[in-house]
């Protein structure tokens, strides 16, 4: 009855490639965004590691510059570990809560 009032709403063409019922796969769309952000985080961490390594080599014997470079190296490695560990934690929580390790990483959202 309500559908008659508002009519049919077609999904945007950009979302139709993500599949799902009626061409809408919001779970796949969000998953693609999340994975893209993780890839960008990895590339950023690699860039920071190279930059910090160069700063460490160029520091000479200045203890402040060496400490700053070590701090940047440590923060880059910690950020990379968090980005990689997020997949492991998502799999663990998916297994514990839902009984499927891929439930959070590949959500299946039921739609009418």
Give this prediction's pTM: 0.63
- Within a domain: 6: no
Structure confidence at residue 96 (pLDDT):
94
pLDDT in tens, 2-49: 556 767 766 667 666 666 555 456 767 777 888 888 889 889 999 999
User: Using one digit for the tens of pLDDT, what is the confidence trace for 40-59?
Assistant: 988 999 999 999 999 999 98
Would you say residue 11 lies in a domain? no
Check if the beta carbon of residue 83 is closer than 8 Å to that of residue 45: yes
Domain residues for the domain of 53 are 24-112
Number of domains forming the structure of the chain? 1
> Is 29 part of a structural domain of the chain?
yes
The Cα angle at residue 73 between residues 68 and 75, in degrees rounded to 5: 95
């Amino acid at each position: 009855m309500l559908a008659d009032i508002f009519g049919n709403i077609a999904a945007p063409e950009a979302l139709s490639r993500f599949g799902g019922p009626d061409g809408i796969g919001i779970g796949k769309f969000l998953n693609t965004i999340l994975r893209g952000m993780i890839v960008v985080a990895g590339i950023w961490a690699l860039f920071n590691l190279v930059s910090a390594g160069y700063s460490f080599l160029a520091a000479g014997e200045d203890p402040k510059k060496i400490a700053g470079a070590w701090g940047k190296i440590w923060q880059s490695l910690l950020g990379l570990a968090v980005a990689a560990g997020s997949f492991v934690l998502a799999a663990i929580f998916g297994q514990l809560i839902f009984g499927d390790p891929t439930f959070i990483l590949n959500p299946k959202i039921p739609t009418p």
